[in-house]
Homo-oligomer: A and B are copies of this chain.
Amino acid sequence: MSEGTALSELGEFGLIRHLTEDLKLNHKSTIMGVGDDAAVIDRGDHFELVSTDLLVEGVHFDMSYTPLRHLGYKAVAVNLSDICAMNGTPTHITVSLAISSRFPVEAINEIYDGIKLACEKHNVDIIGGDTTSSLTGLMISITAIGKVDKDSVVYRNGAKENDLICVSGDLGSAYIGLQILEREKEVWKANPDIQPDLEGHDYLLERILKPEPRTDIIKALRDIGVKPTSMIDVSDGLGSEILHLCAQSQCGAKIYENKIPLDPSAITQAAEFNLEPSVCALSGGEDYELLFTISQNDFEKVAAIEDISVIGHIADQASGAAIVYLHGEEIQIKAQGWKSF
């Protein structure tokens, strides 16, 4: 199987583009297929949203430090996050699990408990699934279904020049949490008698192990009557997502480095790892926050919502997507994204 073009030559985004570039859509009801956070299907009086994500052991998670209950929770969360990114409300999921037959039933229960907990918290019905054995690792494939009013759906391609760029929560914490887990794993591998030192890092660890989809932000925006002009969720790092918004909206962007929301514990811990916290925010990924743009007219309304930061504005396409540092220096953001190949 080693002849031909290596997958690494294309990368994840390149491969998906390659596989889906010639897809034809024949159903009038298909409003949006591949190319945004979720597909959009016309259901008469509303739009249905559909998104699917696959988590693979050894690629997306490491069983040596991932509690199974958190894993189930996270598998749901990352899918619901995609529905939120369309300004929608998640309603249903299907769950497919491939599990080694060496797993005891109790382990599967743990995964399912996490899945059920996430569904209860976000009012989502589990309506189907498939459970099968795997000769090797664990794999969880979830499809999330949601709904949105027809005039409320938000795509990646609606950002306009001078729109404000906003982000929910804080960024980079998930990546720094992952560094803590990796460090303790190395310590443990070197000496299995030493207990991992995870104390005091609850917030950072929760960010990587048990992220929360921002259904609350979608509700808050609806409550104040603000519809973002474009939106995407932050799964691959702020830099990668900004580039998606700019490419699909045919615009540029300026992000102010000192406006990027960072948790104090992330700043402290980044220093310990000799990492620049804003670099963790830009390239780390897995924060599952919402990145969106709003019209300047909506600034005051949005400013009243806790947990939303304005981090920059949309610029003309020619000026590209740049990060502006405190002393005025501008650096172009380059495609990075998360490479699973």
The residues of A with any CB-CB pair to B shorter than 8 Å are: 1-10, 12, 15-16, 18-20, 23-27, 29-30, 32-34, 38-39, 41, 43-45, 48, 50-54, 56-60, 91-92, 94-109, 112, 116, 120, 123, 125-137, 139, 141, 143, 145, 340-341
Do B129 and A12 touch (CB < 8 A)? no
Shortest beta-carbon distance, A137 to chain B, in Å?
A: 6
Which of chain B's residues have a CB closer than 8 A to the CB of A141?
52, 54, 96, 130, 139, 141
Do A104 and B52 touch (CB < 8 A)? no
Do B39 and A98 touch (CB < 8 A)? no
C-alpha spacing A48/B54, complex, angstroms: 23
Are A127 and B41 CB-contacts (below 8 A) given A15-B105, A56-B135, A135-B57?
Answer: yes
C-alpha spacing A91/B28, complex, angstroms: 10
Do A25 and B128 touch (CB < 8 A)? no
C-alpha spacing A302/B27, complex, angstroms: 30
Query: Shortest 3 CB-CB distances between A and B: which pairs?
Result: A4-B104, A39-B127, A141-B141
Do A48 and B43 touch (CB < 8 A)? yes
A135 partner, pick from B45, B92, B136, beta carbons under 8 A? B136
Shortest beta-carbon distance, A110 to chain B, in Å?
A: 10
Which of chain B's residues have a CB closer than 8 A to the CB of A52?
94-96, 128-130, 141, 143
C-alpha spacing A281/B112, complex, angstroms: 35
C-alpha spacing A92/B126, complex, angstroms: 19
Shortest beta-carbon distance, A8 to chain B, in Å?
A: 7
Q: Name A134's closest neighbour in chain B (CB-CB).
A: B56
Which of chain B's residues have a CB closer than 8 A to the CB of A101?
6-8, 341
Do A59 and B125 touch (CB < 8 A)? no
Which of chain B's residues have a CB closer than 8 A to the CB of A145?
41, 50
C-alpha spacing A34/B57, complex, angstroms: 26
Do A131 and B15 touch (CB < 8 A)? yes
Are A104 and B3 CB-contacts (below 8 A) given A43-B44, A126-B20?
Answer: yes
C-alpha spacing A85/B44, complex, angstroms: 24
